[in-house]
Structure 1
């Protein structure tokens, strides 16, 4: 059975983008990217909302993004070979390979996907992740924490109590920290775990 992992780059104060949508600060060094690539090598499916898909599609559609570094190229290779499901009511058709479109998020379908695979899945983007967390579907949370605060914006964390167990702590160049947590309990969601 695969695990569903919620994974993103965040500021020290827990935001993925500032009040104006800026996330240009979210550029970890090669050693941190290598750690992300190690983790993503075991992922078989990415789950995205429309905005996150639009942002991530450049890993296939813009060769200059992958050409930034060796680890960027490795991530682009991993991204292109991984299945993607995009949840959107406005996207007419996907513009990347190995991509399926869904009009609504169906928690039962995601549970079946987890059950049917040996590979992990990721849910990326705080809005879609909050929905998956509320249904008790997220098993692991990983963050690359950048050493700065931005004071507000789009929060990584949903407004739900979760009991977490730290399973990974790595420090990288520039003060970036990779944290990995197992979700041990959830309160206030529709999919309460024991």
Structure 2
């Protein structure tokens, strides 16, 4: 069975975007970029909720035209080539076939996705789908990059959970002299 790895950037006060939806505060320095590349090596599918998919799909297909950042240039071809799955009740099917859209019971659909053969699944960012999958016990690993910023509001890392979920700390690492990466596994 494939594992689901949840990779997310958060502020010190636990927000994944600012009060106005800003996501201009995470800094992908060379060490954090290399760490994300390491995580990506074991991944065979990118998984998104609708909101994060729309953000990713508006940037990565033509990212090299928008940025000369080394991380962007290295990751963009990988993003385009990777199979992508979006869980959404309202997203129309992408016209270019860039992603497969799953509609219906997210828990059952993602459990079936995990049961498919292949490499692990990477869920990137977002809070609703991640919170839903965490509550259902479907997340296997959390990779949380804590950036040195206080946003003071916005979208929380996780929505309220009905029960506690124990995690085992697998790794903690400071990268680029400013970001702390915490890696946890389901206990």
Cα separation, 1, equivalents of 2:9 and 2:104: 25
For the aligned residue pairs, the C-alpha RMSD in angstroms reads 1.8
Which residue of the partner structure matches residue 102 of structure 2?
A: 102
Contact 1:170 1:177 in 2 (8 A): yes
Q: 1:87 to 1:109 in 2, by over 3 A?
A: closer
Partner of 1:162: 165
- Could you say if the C-alpha distance between residues 12 and 27 of structure 1 is closer, same or farther in structure 2, counting changes exceeding 3 Å? same
Point out the more displaced range, 48-57 or 117-126.
117-126
Segments of structure 1 that go 5 or more residues without pairing to the other structure are 185-194
Q: Within the alignment, does 1:122 sit opposite 2:122 as a pair?
A: yes
Aligned residues: 183
Q: TM-score, normalised by structure 1?
A: 0.85
Q: Distance in 2 between matches of 1:177 and 1:140?
A: 16
Mean Cα displacement is larger for which, 53-62 or 146-155?
53-62
Conserved in 1, the CA contact under 8 Å of 2:85 and 2:102? yes
**In 1, Cα distance between equivalents of 2:32 and 2:119:** 22
- Which string of whole-angstrom CA distances, capped at 9 and with x for unpartnered residues, describes residues 97-117 of structure 1? 541112234322322222223
Structure 1 residues 78, 17: closer, same or farther in 2, change over 3 A? same
Q: 1:27 maps to what in 2?
A: 27
Q: Distance in 1 between matches of 2:32 and 2:130?
A: 22
The TM-score normalised by the length of structure 2 is: 0.88
Query: Is the counterpart of residue 91 in structure 1 residue 94 in structure 2?
Result: no
Q: Which runs of 5+ in 2 are unaligned?
A: none
Q: Single out whichever of 89-98 and 6-15 deviates more from structure 2.
A: 89-98
Structure 1 equivalent of residue 141 of structure 2? 140
SS at match of 1:151: coil
- Higher relative contact order (Cα pairs below 8 Å, separated by 6+ residues): 2
- Name the counterpart of 2:71: 71
Report deviation, 1:174.
Answer: 4.3
